[in-house]
């Protein structure tokens, strides 16, 4: 493990132009106000949130009963975190006033001993922390804490930080290895990430010790979850679909070599493992993170950066099991993959981590919301046939259209907090190096150790391969060279630049003084094939240009997309028409048609006719009405 690099603060960057400038403006002006209204149940005709009302009931302001999932509190934590990042970039008195109101509600709902969870406050406080496996108290605490830290960093207001530190201090007293403490750990990891952020802010060792405890305790025998469920008079099937692997507690984390169980939990756990390893210089723990990362990205990740192959447990299954039409690929899981990859880059500057971030970000994450940011996907399949998704019980988790809200609404606010904090993942700094992982247009004023660095990135990447970077400062610079790049050029002030290439990065030596780097990555449409072990993709090809995966959609190609055939050697061409600024692609191909109505025949009962196949970016599908969609198409030899 290298000396850890650091993520930069979103406060040190201003994202402007390019793909993400309008998106971040939309988050501030559209997504967050819309989600605030949803959390307050002010939008009729959609899934009720009741999140804010739960806090009001817990605070004694309203009368009523708790409504929603046991983790409903987490939606407010994620919303507050996203609001904080937006305020770092753009002062907004109205947004800040809404956030302040949320903070006061958190304070009002807090119990005298510091405990803060609306489900148990509204139902039965005597049962708190009695069902760690299922009840998400520590998960909710983590999201509220991440929101509190971000809001303090954005505004300097200590109120929410004081509230959450009281709760975390209560948790730190309750859990641990000591006599009389609870020796449990979260059913749904997340608090580990938040504790590390609180440690970074306060430098109080007890917060890092607690994060490390939760990591180290997981998977020990006898199983805490088995004993806990026994106390609750419940039978626990340790080897079932919702057994110990589902909770990543089948083995101590340093001995886990496969990414198992619930995909979001697994990736949050891995992110927490990396956070703890980086801060404690735990080489063995970081090696375990590397093993898990390689397993998920080399054997268990969809081309789109989606993860999680089955709706049963929203889980990983086994290596190379990547069905497109039954994929779960939860939006939150791809968000978590970005978190994990970014943390791996802090300890091991290799392009494969940035490649995974790109795949998840530009495909599944962006597909998780509509272009107007008011409709959302929870599940992100690679093949959609609406009639089957409506009538086949095995596919009813797949939605052919985004929804204005979700009963389990973890994904919409998670997208908000990821995208509004994008500078954290785009650039990192170490003692004498600034590393650019994602080419996000904007200005960055950062420090590499004691050395101030100024970057201005001007690009429409990945809609364009042209990237201009103006850089000043004494530190060296590393630029990500994506794995899909076949040809590129890099110039400095109009002349060929001097650099060295290593592990997917181009290294340039400082100092720099308003030097202009011109990088051009050749964007060419290409076919991509899955490993032959991926049974669902045999004899099929996907189309990609740069990191952007493309798909065929019914709006362009008619229905029965399974009957399209993409010839092996025909060129893929970029056409002048665009969708949301992204280029569209076309290729000549074939469409098969049934020759008659016989269900079975002893001879081929199909005919074919020429067709032009059009492809759009996967992240933009389902923005033009309900219909079929496919990422992988069958190839033909002609």
Mean pLDDT of the 356-364 span: 98
Q: For position 443, what pLDDT does the model report?
A: 98
pLDDT, tens only, 268-299: 999 999 999 999 999 999 999 999 999 999 99
pLDDT class of 597 with cuts at 50, 70, 90: confident
Residue showing tokens 């389902």: 622
Shortest CA distance to 381 belongs to which of 440, 429, 337, 322? 322
Mean pLDDT of the 312-336 span: 97
Rounded Cα–Cα distance for residues 174 and 189 (Å)? 17
| pLDDT cut 70: percent of the chain above it | 99
Q: Of 140, 410, 537, 619, which residue is the catalytic one?
A: 410
Shortest CA distance to 103 belongs to which of 60, 179, 163, 186? 163
| pLDDT cut 90: percent of the chain above it | 95
pLDDT of residue 528 exceeding 70, the answer is: yes
What are the counts of helices (DSSP H) followed by strands (DSSP E) for the chain?
21, 23
Q: For position 606, what pLDDT does the model report?
A: 86
Rounded Cα–Cα distance for residues 459 and 456 (Å)? 10
pLDDT class of 241 with cuts at 50, 70, 90: confident
Rounded Cα–Cα distance for residues 117 and 57 (Å)? 11
Q: Where in the sequence of the chain do the CATH 2.60.420 domains occur?
A: 426-521
For residue 80, CA distances in Å to 147, 154, 387, 471, 616 come to: 5, 11, 38, 33, 34
Q: For position 1, what pLDDT does the model report?
A: 63
Q: Of 226, 314, 358, 554, which residue is the catalytic one?
A: 314
In SS3 terms, 458-483 reads as: EECCCCCCEEEEEEEECCEEEEECCC
Catalytic site includes residue 410: yes
Mean pLDDT of the 319-348 span: 97
Sheet with 6-7, strands from edge to edge, namely 6-7, 427-430, 433-436, 476-480, 505-508, 500-502
* Continuous segment of H or E residues that includes residue 496: strand 495-496
Rounded Cα–Cα distance for residues 21 and 417 (Å)? 15
Asked if 510 and 476 count as a contact pair (C-beta separation under 8 A), the reply is yes
In SS3 terms, 568-628 reads as: CCCCCEEEEEEECCEEEEEEEEEEEEECCCCCCCCCCCEEEEEEEEEEEEHHHCCCCCCCC
Asked if 546 and 613 count as a contact pair (C-beta separation under 8 A), the reply is no
pTM above 0.85, yes or no: yes
Rg (CA), the chain: 25
Asked if 14 and 89 count as a contact pair (C-beta separation under 8 A), the reply is yes
Asked if 413 and 35 count as a contact pair (C-beta separation under 8 A), the reply is yes
pLDDT of residue 143 exceeding 90, the answer is: yes
Can you say how many angstroms the Cα of residue 501 is from the centroid of all Cα atoms in its chain? 28
Rounded Cα–Cα distance for residues 444 and 437 (Å)? 13
The CATH class of 426-521 is: mainly beta
Looking at the DSSP assignment, which residues form a beta bridge with residue 406?
none
Helix, strand, coil percentages, rounded to 5, for the chain = 40, 20, 40
pLDDT, tens only, 12-39: 999 999 999 999 999 999 999 999 999 9
Catalytic site includes residue 289: no
Shortest CA distance to 275 belongs to which of 204, 166, 190, 154? 190
pLDDT of residue 434 exceeding 80, the answer is: yes
């Amino acid at each position: 493990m290298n000396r850890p690099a650091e993520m930069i603060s979103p406060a040190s960057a201003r994202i402007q132009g390019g793909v993400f400038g309008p998106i971040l403006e939309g988050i501030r002006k559209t997504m967050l106000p819309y989600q605030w209204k949803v959390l307050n149940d002010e939008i009729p005709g959609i899934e009720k949130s009741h999140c804010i009302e739960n806090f009001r009931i817990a605070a004694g302001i309203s009368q009523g009963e708790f409504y929603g999932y046991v983790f409903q509190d987490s939606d407010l934590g994620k919303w507050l975190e996203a609001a904080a990042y937006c305020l770092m970039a753009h002062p907004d008195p109205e947004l800040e006033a809404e956030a302040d109101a949320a903070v006061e509600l958190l304070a009002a709902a807090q119990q005298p001993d510091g405990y803060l969870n609306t489900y148990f406050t509204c139902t039965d406080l005597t049962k708190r922390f009695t069902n760690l496996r299922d009840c998400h108290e520590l998960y909710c605490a983590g999201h509220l804490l991440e929101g509190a830290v971000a809001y303090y960093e954005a505004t300097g207001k200590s109120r929410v930080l004081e509230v959450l530190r009281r709760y975390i201090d209560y948790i730190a007293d309750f859990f641990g290895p000591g006599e009389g403490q609870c020796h449990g750990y979260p059913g749904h990891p997340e608090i580990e990430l938040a504790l590390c952020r609180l440690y970074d802010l306060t430098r109080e060792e007890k917060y890092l010790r607690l994060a490390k405890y939760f990591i180290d305790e997981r998977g020990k025998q006898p199983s805490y979850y088995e004993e806990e469920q026994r106390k609750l008079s419940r039978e626990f099937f340790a080897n079932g679909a919702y057994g110990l692997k589902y909770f990543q507690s089948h083995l101590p984390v340093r001995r886990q070599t496969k990414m198992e169980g619930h995909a979001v939990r697994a990736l949050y756990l891995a992110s927490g493992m990396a956070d703890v390893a980086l801060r404690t210089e735990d080489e063995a723990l970081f090696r375990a993170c590397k093993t898990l990362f390689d397993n998920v990205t080399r054997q268990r990740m969809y081309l789109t950066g989606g993860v999680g192959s089955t709706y049963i447990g929203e889980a990983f299954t086994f290596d190379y099991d990547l069905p497109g039409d039954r994929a779960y690929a939860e939006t939150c899981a791809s968000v978590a993959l970005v978190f994990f990859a970014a943390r791996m880059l802090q300890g091991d500057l290799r392009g494969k981590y940035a490649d995974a971030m790109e795949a998840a970000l530009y495909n599944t994450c962006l597909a998780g919301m509509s272009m107007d940011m008011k409709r959302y996907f929870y599940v992100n399949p690679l093949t959609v046939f609406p009639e089957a998704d409506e009538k086949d019980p095995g596919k009813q988790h797949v939605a052919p259209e985004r929804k204005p809200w979700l009963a389990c609404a973890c994904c919409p606010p998670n997208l908000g907090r990821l995208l509004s904090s994008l500078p954290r993942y785009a650039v990192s700094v170490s003692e004498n190096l600034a590393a650019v992982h994602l080419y996000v247009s904007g200005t960055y004023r950062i420090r590499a150790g004691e050395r101030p660095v100024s970057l201005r990135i001007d690009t429409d990447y990945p809609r364009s391969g042209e990237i201009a970077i103006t850089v000043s400062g004494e530190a060296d610079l590393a630029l990500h060279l994506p794995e899909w790049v076949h040809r590129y050029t890099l110039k400095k002030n109009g002349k060929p630049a001097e650099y060295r290439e290593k592990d997917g990065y181009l290294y340039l030596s400082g100092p720099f003084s308003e030097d202009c780097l011109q990088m051009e990555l050749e964007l060419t449409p290409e076919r991509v094939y899955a490993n032959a072990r991926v049974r669902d993709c045999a004899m099929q090809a996907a189309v990609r240009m740069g990191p952007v995966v493309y798909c065929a959609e019914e709006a362009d190609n008619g229905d029965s997309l399974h009957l399209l055939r993409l010839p092996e050697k025909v060129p893929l061409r970029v056409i002048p028409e665009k969708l949301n600024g992204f280029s569209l692609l076309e290729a000549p191909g074939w469409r098969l048609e049934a020759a008659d109505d016989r269900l079975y025949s002893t001879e081929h009962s199909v005919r074919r006719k020429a067709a032009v196949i059009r492809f759009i970016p996967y992240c933009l599908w389902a923005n033009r009405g309900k219909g079929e969609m496919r990422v992988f198409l069958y190839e033909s030899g002609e």
